[in-house]
Amino acid sequence: MTRQATRPPLKQTQFGLVNTYLVPEEDGFTLIDAGLPGLQNRILAVMRPTGRPLRRLALTHAHSDHIGSVDALKKALPDLEVLVGMNDVELLAENGVKVTPDRLLRAGNSVGSLRVLDTPGHSPGHLAFFDERDGTLYAGDTFVNIPRLRVASVSNIIFPFPTLATHDAAQTTISARLLLDIPAKFLALGHGRVVADPLNAMRRAVELAEKEEA
Ligand SMILES: [Zn+2]
């Protein structure tokens, strides 16, 4: 296994706003989140020259901007394992995904090299994934980095959608604070740039969210 402590995560961004990530594993790749419709063509094009398969699709949560290509990817890759938080499985179906997930995730599970963390709030079954190999914390929409890092529960005039879509704001902030205990070297989110050495910025964002709620 190669250790690449300073390698930023492999990101695919649609329309400059919606991120997904490819996590290399010995047996192929794991895709974190499935973006908007049409992402499958981009992912398949990135996969092809590597000669390695896309094995798993792990969803941070089942909102429509993170699941748009689930069905198309599964259709193109019938062996793809589709994984979602156990408390988001109903939302996944409500939001129109036809595929039945292969495995329902909760804290303590693993997805390849990724450790599954429960981070409910933005959605009932929202998850984060931590890659101990390179220190990347894939935190979905618990934090948003447009235009700067903040917890998704905090109002954001420039990019309001994650806040408006948040299921439980107070619980989102609680989950964001729990992520401060993860020794993250990179913070990779559903929206905005990857943050290197993110812990101080995450702490400031959590404190702002807690102040706003007090
Ligand atoms: Zn989102």
pLDDT in tens, the chain (214 residues): 444 445 778 999 998 899 999 999 999 999 999 999 999 999 999 989 999 999 999 999 999 999 999 999 999 999 999 999 999 999 999 999 999 999 999 999 999 999 999 999 999 999 999 999 999 999 999 999 999 999 998 887 778 888 878 889 999 999 999 999 999 999 999 999 999 999 999 999 999 999 998 8
**95 C-alpha to center of ligand 1: Å?**
13
39, with CB counted inside 10 A (0-12, 13-18, 19+), is buried
**161 C-alpha to center of ligand 1: Å?**
8
For the chain, the domains span 10-213
CA distance 172 to 164: 13
CA distance 97 to 34: 11
**4 C-alpha to center of ligand 1: Å?**
27
CATH 3.40.50.2000 fits 10-213, yes or no: no
State the number of CA atoms in the 13 A half-sphere of 175 facing the CB: 29
Angle made by CA atoms 168, 32, 199, in degrees to the nearest 5: 65
CA distance 166 to 188: 18
**188 C-alpha to center of ligand 1: Å?**
12
SS3 content of the chain, % helix, strand, coil (to 5): 30, 30, 40
**191 C-alpha to center of ligand 1: Å?**
6
**1 C-alpha to center of ligand 1: Å?**
31
